[in-house]
Structure 1
């Protein structure tokens, strides 16, 4: 999944592996971004809805092997709740989730029950992208509009590289039972994952 995902990055985002041509501002290097606090709050709220949805689906496990991904240490929902509370304490108004987040959450709900291979693709991309490019985005945005405030969204308990490796092992184990067609179907969903995540990322500039 990583190889397919990296090809969907731009050269600016991933100089060695990116192949996509940058179109929107969210596909350029975060160093060149011009974010706003209001837009960033929209991004955090919609991101929380997506993580809430992923973590609830995994917890309920409508497909038995989803339970393998409970309590991985990568969960972000509670961290985002703390961050949004911090913004509230600073006097900011917390918006309701907007269309990009609601649309993505609803899509994940549909996939979880009827298309587990596609759901796993989204699970992988949401968590792993945040642990890599997401951290860089958080750092650059914080430098520009939050006086370098370290949000909880970008902190993990324990060794992040080990947490990611543990999840990779579980993902590979689950995929062992899939047919070649099911594996291909999982990989083919990567572009949709990037599309939905990109729509949420774009909120930072609104």
Structure 2
């Protein structure tokens, strides 16, 4: 009961303090399909855009997904630490970081006898995009930061659960575990995103929102690896 009350309190706080994050969420939801979310507007074009219940994942494909995801999270976390722009320091140690957890998962797969692949084009290409944006366009970079971490905490968790049911005997990977209460970690990150964006012009905010489509495109290419 206490947990339910805490979640409800965080949700009420979120809705009252949406700020610019509310605009970011709206832009992201429009790029979901109706099979993925009730607010989705996009037509289904690729297999990864269908309901997860219809997926047929493979271990090999899932390992490719995890390795390339780690490449992206490694890059994001390194770039935030390097802080080419001062505002990035707001996002150091948010509790949403995934690299260490992914490393543990890949070690577990290795212990099970699976060969761990090297990162491939979807992950290395996206990492390169993030490197470039972090140096010259903080608004665009923060758009990717938001969409990568928040998508993983929502649809990503659902995907992880369904894939585990189908090919991992329901094992929950470390990728889908957080230290602390996830709703509060997300709210803290929303507050920081709103704080940073308060100083942006309308043009800068619109440039951030426009980057949402590219974020979905590159993340979708990595997600598609699960089905290979």
TM-score, normalised relative to structure 1: 0.99
1:83 corresponds in structure 2 to 105
1:11-66 deviations in Å (ceiling 9; x for gaps): 00002x10000111100111110000000000000000000000000011111110
Whether 1:122 aligns to 2:144 is yes
2:172 corresponds in structure 1 to 150
Question: How far is 1:73 from its partner?
Answer: 0.3
Question: How far is 1:200 from its partner?
Answer: 0.1
Rounded to whole Å, the distance in 1 between the matches of 2:41 and 2:33 is 5
Rounded to whole Å, the distance in 2 between the matches of 1:62 and 1:23 is 36
Rounded to whole Å, the distance in 1 between the matches of 2:81 and 2:131 is 13
Question: How far is 1:102 from its partner?
Answer: 0.4
Rounded to whole Å, the distance in 2 between the matches of 1:104 and 1:60 is 18
Rounded to whole Å, the distance in 2 between the matches of 1:106 and 1:23 is 26
1:161 corresponds in structure 2 to 183
How many residues get paired? 205
2:161 corresponds in structure 1 to 139
Whether 1:31 aligns to 2:45 is no
Question: How far is 1:117 from its partner?
Answer: 0.3
SS in 2 for 1:81: helix
Question: How far is 1:2 from its partner?
Answer: 0.2
Rounded to whole Å, the distance in 2 between the matches of 1:20 and 1:77 is 30
Rounded to whole Å, the distance in 2 between the matches of 1:90 and 1:63 is 42
User: Where does structure 2 lack aligned partners over 5 or more consecutive residues?
Assistant: 1-23
Rounded to whole Å, the distance in 2 between the matches of 1:60 and 1:188 is 25
User: Where does structure 1 lack aligned partners over 5 or more consecutive residues?
Assistant: none
SS in 1 for 2:206: helix
Question: How far is 1:98 from its partner?
Answer: 0.5
Pick the aligned partner of 1:62 from 84, 87, 96: 84
Rounded to whole Å, the distance in 2 between the matches of 1:205 and 1:32 is 11
2:67 corresponds in structure 1 to 45
Rounded to whole Å, the distance in 2 between the matches of 1:78 and 1:29 is 29
2:27 corresponds in structure 1 to 4
Q: Which runs of 4+ in 1 moved over 2 A?
A: none
Rounded to whole Å, the distance in 1 between the matches of 2:88 and 2:143 is 12
TM-score, normalised relative to structure 2: 0.89
1:186 corresponds in structure 2 to 208
